[in-house]
Amino acid sequence: MRRIILAGNWKMHKTQAEALEFLQGFCHAVQETPEDRELVLCVPFTALGVMSKNLHGTRIRLGSQNIHWEESGAFTGEISAPMLLEMGVTYAIVGHSERRQYFGETDDTVNKRLLAAQKHGMTPILCVGESKEQRDAGQTEAHIYSQLEKDLANVDEKNLVVAYEPIWAIGTGDTCDAKEANRVIGLIRAQLSTPDVPIQYGGSVKPDNIDEIMAQPEIDGALVGGASLKPDAFARIANYQ
């Protein structure tokens, strides 16, 4: 059975104090959230420690925003699976378009990061999606198929989440039409050999569009940036109707 996963991606937002303040409001607001919805917060590395302590015993899972393929070594600015595991991290976002665009992440490094997360028993959230130029040029499908083929080489689909995040919809307020997101996610599913990989939609998910997004048959959850920073907004997303 396909799981429902609602994950917040805080990106480079929130100090430890701000993270704790968020939790106070959020934990309370998701007390009634149906148990079959998994809730994940992917927070900055500096907030993992305090979040880990405070999420202990709650249903909320902790995620990182990246993971390196080596366990240790001369990789300034990177973080490894054992370091994340020690913090209770169970999910890792890999290949987010901001990493690909601004930090030179390639399909090859994305693949290595996915394999490293799985090797250590963590569940990677692989982000794929097209730019505005690619969409306008009719290259959406070809681009995503190429990403999937390269990124998923030797990856175990039984321990994987995929997020379809059209780049033009991220942080722009310009959400992809729910039916179009459903169509692309259906195409992604058809490329996988395991039918029940959870596939999320991401890109300007908000309290006022989550109900329509989650009503789509192919969509198993959301990866939420901006709207996951506010406890009320992210709780409303978790409590979609």
Q: Residue count at the site for ligand PGA (CB under 6 A)?
A: 13
At 4, list the tokens.
């429902």
Cβ closest to ligand PGA, residue 158 vs residue 171: 171
- Distance CA(12)–CA(38), nearest Å, equals 23
* Three-state DSSP class for residue 142: helix
Is 96 one of the catalytic residues? yes
Is 13 one of the catalytic residues? no
- By CB under 6 A, residue 64 contacts ligand PGA: no
The pattern of x and - marking residues 8 through 47 that bind ligand PGA according to CB under 6 A reads -x--------------------------------------
- By CB under 6 A, residue 223 contacts ligand PGA: yes
Largest CA distance in the chain: 48
Nearest to 40 by CA among 90, 78, 100: 90
Cβ closest to ligand PGA, residue 128 vs residue 197: 128
From the list 38, 98, 105, 165, the catalytic residue is 165
Using CB under 6 A, pick the residue from 95, 198, 203, 221 that binds ligand PGA: 203
At 117, list the tokens.
């997360």
- By CB under 6 A, residue 233 contacts ligand PGA: no
- Distance CA(33)–CA(55), nearest Å, equals 16
Cβ closest to ligand PGA, residue 198 vs residue 202: 202
Cβ closest to ligand PGA, residue 156 vs residue 208: 208
From the list 68, 96, 98, 105, the catalytic residue is 96
Residue spans of beta strands (DSSP E) within the chain = 4-9, 37-42, 60-64, 89-94, 123-128, 161-164, 199-202, 221-224
- Distance CA(126)–CA(113), nearest Å, equals 10
Q: Cβ of 109: how many Cβ atoms within 10 Å? A: 18
At 195, list the tokens.
């039918």
Using CB under 6 A, pick the residue from 204, 220, 233, 236 that binds ligand PGA: 204
- By CB under 6 A, residue 124 contacts ligand PGA: no
Alpha helices by DSSP H, listed for 30-80, are 45-55
- By CB under 6 A, residue 224 contacts ligand PGA: yes
Query: What residues numbered 71-100 form the site for ligand PGA, per CB under 6 A?
Result: none
- Whether 143 and 130 have beta carbons less than 8 Å apart is answered as yes
- By CB under 6 A, residue 165 contacts ligand PGA: yes
- By CB under 6 A, residue 221 contacts ligand PGA: no
Find the shortest distance in angstroms from Cβ 209 to ligand PGA. Answer: 10
Q: Are strands 123-128 and 161-164 parallel, antiparallel or unpaired?
A: parallel
By CB under 6 A, name the binding residues for ligand PGA.
Answer: 9, 165, 170-171, 202-205, 223-227
Instruction: Provide the annotated active-site residues.
Output: 96, 165
